[in-house]
Amino acid sequence: MGRYIARRLIQSFLVVLAVVTLVFVLARLTGDPTDLYLPLHSSPEVRQSFREAYGFDRPILVQLGEFLLDVARLDFGRSVWQKVPAMPLVLHRLPLTLELAGVTITGSMLLAFVLGSLSALRPLSVVDRATTFISLIGVTVADFWLALVLIWVFAVYLNWFPTSGTGGLEYLVLPGITLAWRPLGRMAQVVRSSVLEQLSSPYVTTARAKGLSQPLVLFRHVAKNAFIPVLTLAGTEFIGLANGAVIVETVFGWPGIGKLTIDALERRDFAVIQAAVFVVAVLVVLLNLLIDFCYAAVDPRIRYE
Amino acid sequence: MVTQQVEAAGIGAAPPTTPRLTAWQQTLALLAHDKAALVSLSFLLGLGLAALFAPVLLDPASLKMNMSLRFIPPNLQDGHIFGTDQLGRDLASRILMASRVSLTTAFIVVTLSLVVGLILGVIAGYYGRWFDDIIMRFVDVALGFPSLLLALVVIYALGPSIVNIVLVLAATRWMLYSRVARAETLKLRRFQYVEAGQIIGGTDFWILRKHVLPNLMSIVFTLAALELATVILAESALSFLGLGVQPPNVSLGLLIAQGKEYITTAWWVMFFPGLAIFMTTMALSLLASWLGIALDPVQRWRLTSARRG
């Protein structure tokens, strides 16, 4: 177990290092980094002083070393758009993104369990067919279009929910549904096949033979084993959620990291973009680690050396 | 291996009078049994052909700006079945032109990532050792990061052009083919006919071409059909966010981004391009699930046997 944890920790560190280096190389690949860091209309004098201040004239490896040291101190430079340090700006927006993601993943997981289990208990029933249909929509629909259709129907036409912004619970509904649809669809299918598999396993037959009631069989025996594959999937879905957040936050004007990144892209604010990419990378890596460790803790077979 | 024996036995046992169907005839017969797959394929072929010949088929006037024809709602009387957009252009014609760009881009991305991913995956699976380690570590790392966010940043730095979009999307999508091709090759490498090929002195290249690649095709093509849908979604998302296809070119995502501004007054401008994406990806995904069964000799019988329920 100890070696397993150590190996996964090193791997995770390398992922973050790779992402940060990639972003650094990208900035230099384009020729003049001042094009990326400064507004397009900056004067040559401003560019020159910026170049000297940031040492763009020095050897690239020295620059990379300095950059990585800055990253280690969480110093990503100043936002040219908001005139404040980039990192606090990103961290300030983080809770809103986490709120949306947390509500989404919890909601879709619970619903996936209900729909998936009901489908597995009654294959080819109405619930099963509806779940298949919901899943198919989830994996094939363009999330930004789904968002617009939801806004059109529920905000513009029916006027039930606000079109965009943050505030009370009513602001969470439409972005939540948009973001939850894909993970819900995929997890419901996994729960379904996983519960089906467990139901036909010998230990369920034994439990039934002992005379256990259906709810007891389901909750005490099946649920625990059916949960493991969903846990793995949750990690992948969280990565997908980071993609979805960029789009959903932009469409719904939800001021989280995703919206900040798009705003920074539009304003050519590279310091903020770098900081945001770094924070997302760390988040995704940490979450995957957490899931892997939970996985290893739940299923003893995973702890291979 | 087992399936080959079963198939060989089946052919030997068949009465000599039944003519053997060619692979194409077999596939068509299977297709006739699955309505969802048949409808999906017809839709995709229809859309593909219409998009391919759009410049010939369409009345050039329908793509010209004409302010007197702005925001005509969808109707059947004057031929604007999807209505007109903010500049008086026929939306159906615009969608067809945009599909051209979106479908072509997705097709090139999938081909490119398939070829690269397949080659790297087969080499990693067949030769193993350090090459396998490096490639698979890389695949793990690359799959562990949100691809859209990375694509956004890369395209932002390199500049949005169709070539850059193709390269970036291909760079983020080849890993899946590698992972699948490697796993399958690892399995195939242990099969007797591969070992037999090695014993009779076949070169690695010959074995890979004759015995490994043909067995990978079904799973790789199934994945490619699914990936086509994923890439269409990714490209349209980039275009929607303004970092994909740039005007005056059109793509489906760009049409939706433009239509978004008029959501309160003219819903159809954003609705129908999205519906086009949705139907295309839905058809691809239905076709992929059919392909997965139809191309697999072990499961193929499911398609011809009578359906239950």
* DSSP string covering A257-275: HHHHHHHHHHTT-HHHHHH
A115 versus B1: which is more confidently predicted?
A115
pLDDT at B10: 44
Q: pLDDT confidence of B32, banded at 50, 70, 90?
A: confident
pLDDT at A244: 82
- Mean pLDDT, chain B, rounded, equals 82
Beta carbons of B140 and A143 less than 8 Å apart: no
**pLDDT at residue B64 is higher than 90:** no
Q: Which two tokens stand for residue A238?
A: 């969280």
Beta carbons of B145 and A281 less than 8 Å apart: yes
The stretch A148-156 carries a mean pLDDT of 89
* B135: amino acid identity, one letter: I
Residue in chain A lying closest to B141 (CA): A15
Chain A residues in contact with B309 (beta carbon < 8 A): 124
Beta carbons of A19 and B140 less than 8 Å apart: no
Give the model confidence (pLDDT) of A276-302 as tens digits: 888 888 888 888 788 777 777 776 665
Q: How distant is the Cα of A258 from the closest Cα of chain B, in angstroms? A: 9
Could you give the angle at the alpha carbon of B227 between the alpha carbons of B221 and B231, nearest 5°? 145
Residue in chain B lying closest to A155 (CA): B264
Chain A residues in contact with B285 (beta carbon < 8 A): 136, 139-140
Chain A residues in contact with B260 (beta carbon < 8 A): 148, 251
Query: Where do runs of H (alpha helix) occur along A55-158?
Result: 60-72, 86-121, 126-140, 143-150
Chain B residues in contact with A15 (beta carbon < 8 A): 141, 144-145
C-beta separation of A119 from A127 below 8 A: yes
Of A144, A156, A273, the CB nearest to B256: A144
Residues of chain B with a CB closer than 8 angstroms to some CB in chain A: 137, 140-141, 144-150, 152-154, 156-158, 229, 233, 236-237, 240-243, 253, 256, 259-260, 263-264, 267, 270-271, 273-274, 277-278, 281-282, 284-286, 309
**pLDDT at residue B6 is higher than 60:** no
Give the model confidence (pLDDT) of A53-93 as tens digits: 766 777 778 888 888 888 888 888 777 777 788 888 889 99
* A232: amino acid identity, one letter: T
Of B149, B260, B309, the CB nearest to A280: B149
* A60: amino acid identity, one letter: I
Q: pLDDT confidence of B274, banded at 50, 70, 90?
A: very high
Q: Which helix (H) or strand (E) holds A49?
A: helix A44-54
C-beta separation of A188 from A115 below 8 A: yes
CA distances from B141 to A8, A13, B136, B148, B167 (A): 12, 11, 9, 15, 19
Mutation target to probe the A interface, by most A beta carbons within 10 A, among B145, B263, B307 is: B145
ipTM score for this prediction: 0.82
Beta carbons of A243 and B282 less than 8 Å apart: no
Q: pLDDT confidence of B275, banded at 50, 70, 90?
A: very high
pLDDT at A148: 92
pLDDT at B15: 47
**pLDDT at residue A226 is higher than 70:** yes
Chain B residues in contact with A250 (beta carbon < 8 A): 241
Of B270, B273, B309, the CB nearest to A124: B309
Of B137, B242, B285, the CB nearest to A140: B285
Give the model confidence (pLDDT) of B129-171 as tens digits: 788 888 887 787 777 777 788 888 888 888 888 898 999 999 8
C-beta separation of A87 from A166 below 8 A: no
Of A149, A277, A288, the CB nearest to B144: A288
Q: What angle, rounded to 10 degrees, do the helices at B91-127 and B268-294 form?
A: 30
Residue A215: exposed, middle, or buried by beta-carbon count in 10 A (0-12, 13-18, 19+)? exposed
Quick one: what percent of chain B has pLDDT higher than 90? Answer: 22
